[in-house]
Structure 1
Amino acid sequence: MSATELAGTAPAEANRIGAIETRGIEPVPADERTGGPRQLFWVWFAANISILGLPLGATLVALRGMNIWQALLVAALGSFGSFALVGLISVAGKWGGAPSMTLSRAVFGPRGNHGPTVVSWLSRVGWETVNTTTAAYALLALISIIFGVGANSVLTVISLLVFVALTLVVSGLGHATLVWIQQWATYLFGALNILVGAFLITKVNWDAVAHAPAAPVSVVVAGIGVIAAGTGIGWANAGADMARYQHRHVPGRRIVAAASVGAGVPLFLLIGLGGLLSAGDGSLASASDPVSAIQVMLPSWMAVPYLLAAFGGLLLSNNLSVYSAGLTMITLGVRARRVVAVGLDIVLTLAGGIYFMLIAGDFYGPFITFISLLAVPITAWVAVFLADMLFRRHYDPRGLMDTGATSVYWYRGGFRWSAVLPWVAGIVVGLLFTTASTSATDVWFSGPLADSWMGSNGLGWVVAFVVAGGLYLLFGATTARRLGGTSSPDPTTRPGARTDGEPAAVRP
């Protein structure tokens, strides 16, 4: 059975609230693209109201020494800016009607795309594990408050199962249900977050906030990179997954704004609050369990709404992540329908949560390590993909689904080396500036240039972006000159090319 057949025909009526979305990764036909930017706004808003923004803000103040004004500037530029990149990739979803990593086949070739897709899938599973673990901590705390039962191995597993089961229901049903849930659940959990946030502000040491000295400009620049890597960069490879249902006539700028503002507003508020709470008290920045670290700041009567808000925010984030991971798994070649791929992803996430909670001795350390390491290959992919969008406005539907030698995107042996090589080069150079460690004594990886300013400030992923994007543009310019002046890297837009799924007459 071919990948196209496994993807299903997905009639339009199946993409409705409460019905299982039968569409896999095949491009959405134009007459089924009825979405608008408002949908994307709520999807990204909901995915970013989790409490994981608080320790990020705490890190800026407690560990990097910024004052609150610098932390707020960093929060704004890092969150709004990084999700603007997510919005740009979402525009490609509107153009091609397919998930991000499926569209990536046109850029890297069906075989060359395997590397970026594996990295994307690992990123999604990692974020899901972080969400699941943190939510389970919140549920265990709720059980302790309401029933007076302390945490144990059995309750831990039950808490994990409850969270992944709720995720499976929403992500398994698919796009229409996910969009509806993300909007209406945001009202509920957003209100709880506002309530808890208003109380937490009363716990701020305002004297410490007012007298905190400013950090050097170099620290602020590095902080922007930290926030971007911990927020939008992690979501970049999912940008087109929801935007593939956007109407073809929606202006691209509105899609970019929906992602940037939708995610930026809650992130700015949460990161800013985390910075305020850490003025004079750095315990939140170094907490192994951020849920408990915040809970101790609250009276018992406020703990329940706080824990509900924490659990709900993480669930909304996980819904989108698991949905995206299922599509990415199919793009990798897993011969399963979308809902089955989602189920497989949930099982792996559950295993990761059990490891974090019952085996690993630290939570926050591996979280930061995970972000810093995977940010390099993800950002290199983002750079190549965005650079490719400068020359492309079309993705051939049959070419995207055909992973054999007859595909218009087969290029040379299934690889588009002018994209694959810049991606690999970006990773290699970026890792030279990267350190991945959970502590000073537990170093997973350290590049030879990790002690440089870029390296010590966690900006190896920025180096990867510049190198990968720059090399791709250089290769593209060279190819254009060789082909007689055309700058388009898409073979379906060149003279003599076929757009019906047959091989192109000219391949770069």
Structure 2
Amino acid sequence: MSNKDVLTGQAPSNAPSQDASIEELGIAKVPTSQQTKKPAELFFVWCAANIGILGVVYGAIIVSFGLSFFQSLLAAIVGVASFSLVGMSSIAGKIGRTTTLTLSRSSFGKKGNIAPTSFCWINLMGWEAVNIITGTLTLVALFAALGFAETTMTTVISLILFGGLTVLVSMLGQNTVLMMQKWITRTFGAMTLFVVLYLMATADWETIMALPSGSWITGFLPAVSIIAAGTGISWAIAGADYSRDQSPSSSHRGIFNSVVGGAALPLIMLMLTGILLTAQIPDLASHENPISAIGRLLPSWMAVPYLAAAVAGIVTIAVLSLYSASLNLLSMGIKLKQRTAVALDAVLVLGVALYVLFVSGDFLGPFISFLIFCGVFLAAWAAIFMTDFLTKHRHSGYSDEELFGDTGINKPTLACWVVGSLAGLMVSNTGFIDGPFAVGIFADSSLGLFISFLVSMVLYRIILKKNA
């Protein structure tokens, strides 16, 4: 395949170079000779992608819905189960041998797919900004643990250092990043386990167990949807990006279990940490710098290595987001080289990070609004993508014509996505767009994600039955 074909997503004019790297392939199909990876490698990819210290804040957010300890723990587990969507899109990646949003062309059409892909790109840009902000705040917390005052200058230095690390690591190539992730996952995972054991030994269990039970409808379900929006729903758009070079001999069950298990193990452990911390830091979910609050709670001999490992973990998460975002640009047909696309994405997210860190000063408020707003659109897309895969491509695969041909716009499918997304928005208060029907059980909740998913799935299944 020529460079032009790779970068614009046109139909392949010839087979890709057999020795081209994953980065050089762009969105082209991975040659069968390069499908050599095993499911176990996906475990480390998704473990590293979800072992960031933000998971601790998720735990605090769950408790903020007024839930008891057992309700909070159950909400964490059910919310993380949304990573089943990533497991399924990863199986689709092995079958289709290309990126998730390129596979999405099979249901939306090549031009019709531009709309959901554009929104997925915006979502990844938002997450990249979250990663930059979280990494900067973690470095600030690290400096504080070392005895430096938390000043504007400290934040500026932390932002420059973290941004530089992210750009440097992103230039090392995907294979190098995956190798780094394995060691970072083991190191930070071991430290997190140690912190969890420390917190369990020192926690005020009387206060934790005395937390009153909250409403299952207006407390538990919204908490689940927030976690689902920030984990499985957000990452579903990138599953195939990291599984397209899986060996043909890799079992679907092995891929699914590696992806879901790799994400669930660190997320549940980190959220348990956040739930335990709320007994000692009740306002953790609304703290201006929750990571700094966590650092102050731990003894310095524990806080310094833990926060240092956390920074390294967030760097690799940021690189994954940048990589998937650049692939989305290629899926839309934007003619940019991989490094140029990454550079463009980096400039945009830096602007968002600067605003949050130095102008608004509020991190968690915009973050939750971002999760809810993006979640309704991504949930609608995920419903269509998964239904399309399970009913049409699970056994027969994807044809080159579906993925790279001039298939135009599939208007009925696009309408399903738009209607489902609007239905979710109608019953959601996102903080900057308030739905007219966000009242009763929908007021101050995020149940719109479930509505969006169900409406799009039902409408798309109706269309498939009519065309059968």
* TM-score of the pair, normalised by structure 2: 0.92
Pair 1:143-2:154 in alignment = no
Structure 1 range deviating more: 195-204 or 229-238: 195-204
Q: 1:378-393 alignment to 2 at 5 Å?
A: 378-389=378-389, 390-392=391-393, 393=396
After superposition, what is the alpha-carbon deviation per residue over 1:382-431, rounded to whole angstroms, capped at 9, x for unaligned?
Answer: 000011012223222355234xxxx3xx1xxx111121010001011111
Q: Return the offset for 1:330.
A: 1.5
The separation in 2 between residues aligned to 1:350 and 1:433, in whole angstroms, is 32
| Shift of residue 321, structure 1, vs aligned partner | 1.1
**Contact map agreement 1:24 1:327 (CA 8 A) in 2:** yes
- Structure-1 residue corresponding to 2:31: 29
The separation in 2 between residues aligned to 1:130 and 1:369, in whole angstroms, is 12
Cα RMSD for the two superposed structures? 2.1
Residue from 431, 448, 465 that aligns with 1:477: 465
Gaps of 5+ in 1: 438-443, 481-508
**How far apart are residue 332 of structure 1 and its match?**
2.0
Contact 2:184 2:309 (8 Å CA) reproduced: no
How far 1:345 moved relative to its partner?
Answer: 1.5
Alpha carbons of 1:129 and 1:203: their partners in 2 closer, same or farther (altered >3 Å)? farther
CA distance in 2, matches of 1:139, 1:23: 35
1:117–1:331: 8 Å Cα contact kept in structure 2?
Answer: yes
| 1:450 maps to 2:438 | yes
2:58 is matched with 56
1:240-255 equivalent positions in 2, closer than 5 A: 240-255=240-255
Q: How far apart are 1:33 and its partner, in Å?
A: 0.8
Which residue of the partner structure matches residue 193 of structure 1? 192
Counterpart contact for 2:90–2:243, Cα < 8 Å:
yes
In structure 2, what is the equivalent of residue 70 of structure 1? 71
Q: Deviation per CA, 1:161-213, whole angstroms, max 9, x where unpaired?
A: 32233223333343322322221221122222223333333442211122223
Which of 29, 37, 44 aligns to 2:46? It is: 44
The answer to whether structure 1 residue 320 and structure 2 residue 320 are counterparts is yes
Name 1:430's counterpart in structure 2: 424
Q: Contact 2:7–2:333 at 8 Å: present in 1 too?
A: no
Q: Secondary structure at the match of 1:435?
A: coil
**Paired residue for 2:96?**
96
Distance 1:453 1:216 in 2: 10
CA deviation map 1:228-274 (0-9, x unaligned): 11211111111111011112232222211111111011111111121
Contact 1:124–1:325 under 8 Å retained in 2: yes
Trace 1:286-297 onto structure 2 (pairs within 5 A): 286-297=286-297
- Report the equivalent of 2:222: 222
Distance 2:213 2:140 in 1: 39
Would the aligned equivalents of 2:426 and 2:438 in 1 still touch at CA under 8 Å? yes
Aligned to 1:84: 84
Q: 1:399 to 1:383 in 2, by over 3 A?
A: closer
State the match for 1:208 in structure 2.
Answer: 207
Do the aligned partners of 1:175 and 1:242 also contact (CA within 8 Å) in 2? no
Question: What residue number does 1:354 align with?
Answer: 354
2:167 corresponds to which letter in structure 1?
Answer: L
Alpha-carbon distance between aligned partners in 2 of 1:26 and 1:5, rounded to the nearest angstrom: 6
C-alpha distance 220-141 of structure 1, shift in aligned 2 (>3 A): closer
TM superposition shift of 1:314: 1.5
Mean CA deviation greater in 160-169 or 363-372: 160-169
1:2 CA displacement? 7.6
- In the alignment, structure 2 segments of 5+ residues that lack a partner are 10-14
Higher RCO (CA 8 Å, separation ≥ 6 residues): 2
Percent sequence identity over matched residues? 39
- Per the alignment, residue 176 of structure 2 pairs with 177
| Cα distance change of structure 1 residues 4 and 47 upon mapping to structure 2, 3 Å threshold | same
Q: Secondary structure at the match of 1:436?
A: coil
Shift of 1:3: 4.2
Q: Return 301-310 or 316-325, whichever deviates more.
A: 301-310
Asked whether the equivalents of residues 7 and 334 of structure 2 are also in contact (C-alpha less than 8 Å), the reply is no
Matches of 2:292 and 2:184, distance apart in 1: 24
SS in 2 for 1:296: helix
SS of structure 2 residue aligned to 1:336: coil
- TM-score after normalising by structure 1: 0.85
Counterpart of 1:428, as a letter, is L
Q: Give the corresponding residue for 1:396.
A: 399
In the alignment, the residues of structure 2 paired with residue 144 and residue 200 of structure 1 have an alpha-carbon distance, to the nearest angstrom, of 20
More off after superposition, 113-122 vs 206-215? 206-215
Q: For residues 220 and 366 of structure 2, what CA distance do their matches in structure 1 show? A: 24
**Rg larger in 1 or in 2?**
1
